[in-house]
């Protein structure tokens, strides 16, 4: 994965919801061109952060057997932009409709809404994407289980 967009997982409710944080750093290369002399985090990257958080929820809820791949975005609204130095808090819930996983999320900075999204995803075996041991280790780092 080119961009790892979740910096800290703050809460996991297995099979139901997850909360995480994305710290927007001036050193991130996508800020160099989006936009020159006016850096903001691209909205699509905010959506990608939500999708990655959905993957972490799915992995943690399946004892790291599964991950998700998005299949469609039902809706996505952008209200504000994330700037360098912002700490973006992301909350995500999952439900199942007609056999499909449906994720609904919201992102905020300082309590102000940035993005709201709803998307569908297929559950796929994690072993086909990443090494399970590496993913477990990364999860422990993100949840601060290692005390790193």
pLDDT for 29: 87
Can you give the C-alpha Rg of the chain in angstroms?
A: 15
Choose, from 7, 8, 17, 34, the residue flagged as catalytic.
34
- Residue corresponding to tokens 């910096």: 7
pLDDT in tens, the chain (148 residues): 568 999 999 999 999 999 999 999 999 988 888 888 899 999 999 999 999 999 999 999 999 999 999 999 999 999 999 999 999 999 999 999 988 899 999 999 999 999 999 999 999 999 999 999 999 999 999 999 986 5
Residue 11 and residue 62: Cα distance in Å, rounded?
16
- Residue corresponding to tokens 């039902």: 74
Query: What's the number of domains the chain is made of?
Result: 1
For the entire predicted model, the pTM comes to 0.94
**Within a domain: 49:** yes
pLDDT for 99: 83
**Within a domain: 83:** yes
Range of the domain at 100: 8-142
**Within a domain: 34:** yes
34 is catalytic: yes
**Within a domain: 2:** no
**Within a domain: 3:** no
pLDDT for 78: 97
Residue 67: which H helix or E strand, with range? strand 66-78
pLDDT for 46: 96
- What CATH number does the domain containing 20 carry? 3.10.129.10
**Within a domain: 1:** no
Look at residue 72 and give its three-state secondary structure.
Answer: strand
pLDDT for 3: 81
pLDDT for 37: 87
**Within a domain: 29:** yes
**Within a domain: 147:** no
pLDDT for 123: 95
């Amino acid at each position: 994965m080119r961009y790892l967009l979740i910096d800290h997982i703050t809460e996991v409710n297995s099979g139901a919801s997850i909360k995480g944080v994305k710290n927007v750093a001036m050193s991130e290369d996508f800020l160099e061109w989006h936009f020159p002399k006016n850096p903001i985090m691209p909205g699509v990257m905010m959506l990608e952060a939500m999708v990655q958080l959905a993957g972490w929820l799915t992995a943690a809820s399946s004892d790291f057997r599964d991950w998700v791949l998005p299949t469609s975005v039902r809706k996505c609204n952008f209200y504000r932009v994330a700037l360098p130095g912002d700490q973006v808090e992301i909350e995500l819930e999952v439900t199942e409709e007609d056999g499909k996983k449906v994720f609904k999320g919201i992102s905020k900075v300082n309590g102000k809404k940035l993005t709201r999204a709803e998307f569908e995803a297929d559950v796929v075996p994690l072993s086909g994407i990443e090494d399970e041991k590496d993913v477990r280790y990364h999860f422990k780092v993100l949840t601060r289980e290692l005390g790193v």
